[in-house]
Amino acid sequence: MTSQAQVRTGKGEGETVGVALLGFGTVGAEVYRLLGENSEAFTHRIGGPAEIRGIAVHNKNKQRPGVPAELLTDDAKSLVLRDDIDLVVEVIGGIDYPRELVLTALNAGKSVVTANKALVAAHADELAEAAENSAVDLYFEAAVAAAIPVVGMLRRSLAGDQIQRISGIVNGTTNFILDAMESTGASYEDALAEATRLGYAEADPTADVEGHDAASKAAIMASLGFHTRVKFEDVHCEGISTITADDIEAAQEAGYSIKLLAICEHLVNEETGEESVNARVHPTLVPQEHPLASVNKSFNAIFVEAEAAGELMFYGNGAGGNPTASAVLGDLVGASRNIIHGGRAPGENAYANLPLADFGDVRTCFHINMEVADRTGVLAAISNVFADHDVSLRTVRQEDGESTARLIVVTHSAQERVLDAIVTKLGELDDVKAVNSVIRLGA
């Protein structure tokens, strides 16, 4: 390994960058196709040819039209370690096996481009250290919202600013489902079935609908935005599987859309001045006039609030073979240019090392939908619960039913643990027949 202070010299103008492609699914196949079809343009952009010299696959005997058989191998580790490989592109997915391969590549002095959000969210510190020790690049633009340039924006474009908050729709499957529920009145189950039929949802949609996919991306965004290592397990995570058509209708009536948001915040305690970082994923009521509320179908969008730049939004396709391949190839160009000309791209910089805020200390507002007894004094009893916890109400709306009433309250900002205690207490009141839903406000 090289020392951290050492900078690699380039191979030289016109030299070839040898590329190992790990994985040949939808994204890998598109990377191979686009790099081959536009080879001359890539040569000009890089300063020399980028040549795929090997493709690691699970089954090398499977027919892959247009791909020379001699490029295929089922021994990924040996491919990574070959002397004619300068750059490794990992598009396998998963964590443990790709981690082994990526670390092998970095430790052997090969730069790496990966689209693997789960890997980066779980092991960013280990991978960054290996890249630093070997003085090579680790690129992962495609790990967050595919072709939307989120990583580059946080690493470079806003490197001279202080980012205060990042909130984003970073999972196309859940956005498609929620948008379908809002636009058609469909139930969650019917919207999920439609998403599955159209190919937006996997056969097992758990990672998407329970927020795990978005949480991995939130960890990456928080780490880059606040110069603090945040891992997947540090992200508070809730999914959309409990959202009902009634929740959607109530939100619309109140002037909101429900979105699954990844929210990353730089927090400052008003009394002590202490700084901390929070990252969370949960269904969120977004005011209909906010730009994120209009993001429909399977599109993604990231809304950034920075001290000097103000408010910025990045919008586009956040998944799929072509958009993801576009991001991978953008990273390939950047890494290859450094291999040809020398130098390195900005790496991990966790200098701030801010503490992670306890989720219970995070301040938010709640939209609480209850079924209550339709009689005099109920509203007073419920209001007393909020008053006893020193939380004020922003709005109260009651809709009469046959024997019960629906009561919807929106709180002012309070700590999560306080609001949780209020919801628990409300559930214990005889006059509260059910707490139908509790959804946070945000964006």
Give the residue numbers annotated as catalytic, written as ranges.
217
The pairing of beta strand 275-287 with beta strand 432-441: parallel
**CA dist list (Å): 413 to 311, 359, 418:** 22, 14, 10
Please check if 77 is assigned to a binding site.
Answer: no
The torsion angles phi and psi of 294, rounded to 5 degrees, stand at: -90, 5
25 assigned ligand-binding residue: yes
End-to-end CA distance of the chain: 45
Is 26 known as a binding-site position?
A: yes
Known binding residue 29? Answer is yes
What span, in angstroms and rounded, lies between the C-alpha atoms of 101 and 87?
Answer: 12
Smallest Cα–Cα separation from 10: which of 331, 329, 344? 344
27 assigned binding-site residue: yes
433 carries a ligand binding annotation: no
DSSP labels, 178-204: HHHHHHH---HHHHHHHHHHTTSS-SS
C-alpha span between 370 and 435 (Å, rounded): 4
Secondary structure element (H or E) that encloses residue 113, with its range = strand 111-114
> Both tokens of residue 227?
């110069």
**Token pair 């300063």 in the structure block, residue:** 47
CA 73 – CA 59 distance, rounded (Å) = 8
Annotated binding site: 22-29, 117, 202
Annotated binding site for NADP(+): 22-29
